[in-house]
Amino acid sequence: MKALVYRGPGRKEWIDRPKPELREPGDAIVRVTSTTICGTDLHILKGDVPAVENGRILGHEGVGIVESTGNGVSRFKPGDRVLISCITSCGRCPYCRKQLYAHCQDGGWILGHRIDGTQAEFVRIPHADNSLYAVPAGADEAALVMLSDILPTGFEIGVLSGQVRPGDTVAIVGAGPVGMATLLTAKFYSPARIVMVDMDPARLQLARSLGATDTIDAGNENVVDKLMEMTAGVGVDVAIEAVGIPATFDMCQKSIAPGGHIANVGVHGKSVELHLEELWIRNITLTTGLVNTNTTSMLLQSMQAGTINPSQLITHHFDLDDILEAYDVFTNASREKAMKVILKAP
């Protein structure tokens, strides 16, 4: 089969690899029909995730068709169309019992990280009963791929951890795919204002079309000053960091209101400076996290009901064989006006 293989920082190859085989009773082999590229994949290629070994097949998102299952799989059978969760969960360990699936003792974020992932023609999914979701009849497959990772990430680690409430002023720093997913799901809670911050005018325009009430061009405006001006000097109720660099984290901590919530969603490859000497007295809540995907079923129902439309985040479509071109487009998102790319297998 063909697969996108990591060869160390800055290097990747689209090459032939052996088709995966069942290893454990709970495994399923899935033929990938649609997948995508994540910002985390770019972090891996930068060398920010040293646990990823040379030779690893990247990717942790996708939709496919079950090809075979181990004798311990009861919820799925060959021929079933399934959504692949970016998080693998055994459903039995102490963390899974707390719905902290990201920290499953025999799973978590392992696809494209510690085991081979979904940017391939076939993928092995451990603990398939708890790590796959049945695709509803007639569902938009490309839109479903957004539910593998970015929608639950934005919702759980941004909106829920940030405790967005009706009437809040919410600042989302970073208008990439996860930031946009946070925007879509923040609307569930009717905040008064959603302010999107980015340096890309095209992304800010898209954010407006998706429901942002305000935008700030970080390349031309002082973000902290602008947010304080918008809030009469008080600061925002919720600041969601969706980039993963020190400068954007600093924007959040400098613009948060007393009693506010800073929800860090971005993947950080470098340390940041936490100004605890200023924040300790202001009753600030700071959260971080890796998505647990415990909301995927709810988001799937919301998509089917038309409450959210994840297909709005898709800007480019490619054949799976053109994955290297897709990486070039996604890596140069500003130049290409790219948000999410979909890779479709024949």
Position 133 pLDDT exceeds 90: yes
Give residue-wise pLDDT tens across range 99-131: 999 999 999 999 999 999 999 999 999 999 999
CB 13 within 8 A of CB 324: no
* pLDDT at 20 > cutoff 90: yes
What are the angstrom distances between the C-alpha of 239 and each of 206, 250, 276, 293? 20, 11, 16, 22
Question: What's the pTM?
Answer: 0.96
Res. 346: pLDDT tops 90: no
Nearest residue to 218 via CA among 257, 174, 180: 174
Q: Is the pLDDT of residue 48 over 90?
A: no
User: Each residue of 256-293: pLDDT tens digit?
Assistant: 999 999 999 998 888 999 999 999 999 999 999 999 99
Phi then psi for residue 344, to 5 deg, are -110, 130
Q: What is the DSSP letter of 160?
A: I
- Give the distance, in angstroms, between the CA of residue 30 and the centroid of all CA atoms in the same chain: 21
With a cut of 90, say whether residue 81 has pLDDT above it: yes
Tens of pLDDT, residues 172-198: 999 999 999 999 999 999 999 999 999
Which candidate, 214, 337, 178, 197, places its Cα nearest to that of 254? 197
Residue 2, SS3? strand
Q: What is the mean pLDDT of the chain?
A: 97
In the chain, how long is the greatest CA-to-CA distance? 62
**Within 13 A of 226's CA, how many CA atoms are on the CB side?**
18
Average pLDDT (222-234) is: 98
Contact call for residues 291 and 152 (beta carbons, < 8 A): yes
CA-nearest of 205, 89, 207, 65 to 144 is 65
| β-bridge pairing 169-173 and 193-198 | parallel
Three-point CA angle 155, 231, 273, nearest 5°: 65
Strand pairing of 169-173 and 236-241?
Answer: parallel
- Percentages helix, strand, coil for the chain (3-state, rounded to 5) are 35, 25, 40
